[in-house]
């Protein structure tokens, strides 16, 4: 899993061939000497932590508009999914202010 993740996300700066070789040549008896970066493919949040994240994203996008910028530039770097495990009440929908 770690090796596949490194191969998929190698960029030559944050993740290099040296990181990939360190995992490929891993010796379980050796003393660790290389930090291995892991980049998640997606983030799953439950409602308790996810709703504040959605509110933060909406607030940052609104601030971007107020500053004259493009709100579509405010996005998570990894795909994020929000799982809500209870009823949700929708006050407005299908409108720009929703």
What would the pLDDT profile of 44-61 be if each residue is shown by its tens digit? 888 788 888 889 999 999
How much is the average pLDDT of 18-41?
89
Report how far apart, in Å, the C-alpha atoms of 1 and of each of 20, 27, 61 are. 12, 16, 34
Q: Residue 36's pLDDT is what?
A: 85
The CA-based diameter of the chain, rounded to the nearest angstrom, is: 60
Which pTM does this prediction carry? 0.53
Residue 95 corresponds to which tokens in the numbers above?
């409108």
Residue 67 has pLDDT above 90, yes or no: yes
**Closest by CA position to 57, among listed 72, 42, 46:** 72
Question: Which among 83, 77, 85 has a CA at the least distance from the CA of 39?
Answer: 77
Average pLDDT over residues 16-44: 89
C-alpha 76/C-alpha 38 separation (Å) is 16
């Amino acid at each position: 899993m770690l090796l596949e993740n490194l191969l998929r996300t190698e960029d030559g700066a944050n993740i290099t061939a040296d990181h990939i070789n360190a995992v490929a040549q891993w010796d379980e008896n050796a003393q660790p000497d290389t930090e291995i970066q892991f980049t998640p493919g997606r983030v799953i949040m439950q409602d308790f932590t996810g709703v504040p994240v959605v509110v933060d994203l909406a607030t940052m996008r609104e601030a971007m508009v107020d500053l004259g910028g493009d709100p579509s530039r405010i996005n998570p770097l990894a795909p994020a999914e929000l799982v809500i495990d209870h009823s949700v009440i929708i006050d407005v929908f299908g409108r720009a202010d929703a």
